[in-house]
Amino acid sequence: MAKLLCLNFGSTSTKMAAFENDEKIFSKSYTPGEDGYPKFKNLAEHQEYAIDLAAKNLAEYGLTFEDIDAFVARGGGMMTTSSGTFAINEILIEDTKKVGNEQHPGKLGNRICFALGQKYGKPAFVVNQPSSDELIEEARYTGFKDIYRHSDIHALNQKEVCYRYAASIERNYEDLNLIVCHIGGGISVTAHRKGKMIDSNNIIMGDGPMAPTRSGTIPAIPLIEMCFSGKYEMMELIMRVMKNGGLKDHLGTDDARIVEQRIEEGDEYAKIIYDTMLYQISKYAGEMAVALEGKVDQILITGGMARSKYVTDYISGKLAWIAPSTVIPGEFEMEALAAGAMRVLSGQEEAKEYTGIPVWTPPVVD
């Protein structure tokens, strides 16, 4: 029996969980600035506080760091990799100092797990990190020779629901062709071919369907005109694409429950905007069917908004001509971290070595 401590730090939440094999011992979520969880000036302060909090959480269940057999992080601040479970090493930790926003809390899990693993002589892993990249070559290029598409997907939850669906039908994930629609604050629609995420929208770069807080893909020339209109600062527009677009821009809220209530009360504008988002999700799923050459075994609908019958009925109805749909609501990130570590500890997989060399680099073009 292996005991695992799993850490998942994001920009808006901190999640901690402990497992014994696949059985959850505890799972806790904190919002910085709320519930007594402070905000921090830098990652060093945050790291010290988080380690102390993890120790207190374990103590509530009669555990200490010495009892933990592996420390597992979601990852962040890494170069692109294949999917899978990677052993955290010095190269990975050095990359967290160089890649992306220097103070993004997503880097903390890697650093804390590595530090605890070193101190207590236990392995430390990251599982299906956010920049897991399995795109096929044709999915990378755009109409500009100096702009390329990169992989930023809800890889951790997407892979987990694929494993769960495959197990439910007594098949191997690596034998199936699946389209996964992860629908939450961000939305990723991905083609999984025989265990690889071969194409998807990029959830970071303004690509894909409209989402509760994100604009999704919008026509380029009007956006360029906005950029040069003199009315907006660059960061203002970036935030409108990433944090203040979509439902929030149109309807003043990113809460789908409120939007659905407004629809029930007869708000026609709320309905057309909400349906447009669902239409766009369905349309991108159609693109993923093309990536899979029409050979789709199942469409999986997951994420927080998959709890809504309005959402799942709309999307499954639009896509019924492609394949049947299975709804797996919510997200399973903490369970996915534990499952990835257990596949290594049980000998089903070998931990991969992180090299810091990106999966793919753009060609040199004159």
Distance CA(208)–CA(202), nearest Å, equals: 7
Tell me which residue range forms the domain holding 27. Answer: 3-133+334-353
Query: 10 falls in which pLDDT band (50, 70, 90)?
Result: confident
Residues 71 and 117: beta-carbon distance below 8 Å? yes
Angle at which helix 256-264 crosses helix 268-291, to 10 degrees, equals: 120
Residues 173 and 44 in one domain: no
* Phi, psi (deg, nearest 5) at residue 57: -65, -45
Mean pLDDT of the chain: 95
Q: What confidence score (pLDDT) does residue 238 get?
A: 95
Residue 366 in any domain: the answer is no
- What would the mean pLDDT of 112-116 be, rounded to a whole number? 98
102 pLDDT higher than 80: no
- DSSP 3-state of 16: strand
- DSSP 3-state of 299: strand
Residues 90 and 222 in one domain: no
Residue 29 in any domain: the answer is yes
Q: What confidence score (pLDDT) does residue 36 get?
A: 84
Residues 117 and 48 in one domain: yes
127 pLDDT higher than 90: yes
Give the contacts of 324 (CB within 8 A, at least 6 positions apart): 298, 299, 316
264 pLDDT higher than 80: yes
Residues 199 and 324 in one domain: yes
Domain count across the chain = 2
Query: 260 falls in which pLDDT band (50, 70, 90)?
Result: very high
- What would the mean pLDDT of 84-91 be, rounded to a whole number? 98
Distance CA(343)–CA(173), nearest Å, equals: 14
Q: What confidence score (pLDDT) does residue 272 get?
A: 98
Residue of 277, 281, 331, 327 lying closest to 304 (CA atoms): 331
Residue 125 in any domain: the answer is yes
Residues 288 and 342 in one domain: no
Residues 261 and 123 in one domain: no
Residue 46 in any domain: the answer is yes
Residue 165 in any domain: the answer is yes
Residue 363 in any domain: the answer is no
Query: 104 falls in which pLDDT band (50, 70, 90)?
Result: confident
Residues 50 and 188 in one domain: no
Dmax (CA) of the chain: 62
- What would the mean pLDDT of 238-253 be, rounded to a whole number? 96
Residues 122 and 237 in one domain: no
Q: What confidence score (pLDDT) does residue 240 get?
A: 96
Residues 159 and 184 in one domain: yes
Task: Look at the chain and count its residues.
Answer: 366
101 pLDDT higher than 80: no
Residue of 164, 8, 111, 80 lying closest to 362 (CA atoms): 80
Residues 120 and 178 in one domain: no
Q: What confidence score (pLDDT) does residue 365 get?
A: 77
* Chain segment 22-77, per-residue pLDDT in tens: 999 999 999 888 878 998 888 899 999 999 999 999 999 999 999 999 999 999 89
Residues 15 and 74 in one domain: yes
Q: What confidence score (pLDDT) does residue 212 get?
A: 96
CATH code for the domain of 78: 3.30.420.40
DSSP count for the chain of H helices, then E strands = 11, 12
Residues 342 and 325 in one domain: no
Determine how many CB atoms are found less than 10 A away from the CB of residue 163.
Answer: 18
Q: What confidence score (pLDDT) does residue 13 get?
A: 86
* Chain segment 307-364, per-residue pLDDT in tens: 999 999 999 999 999 999 999 999 999 999 999 999 999 999 999 999 999 999 999 8
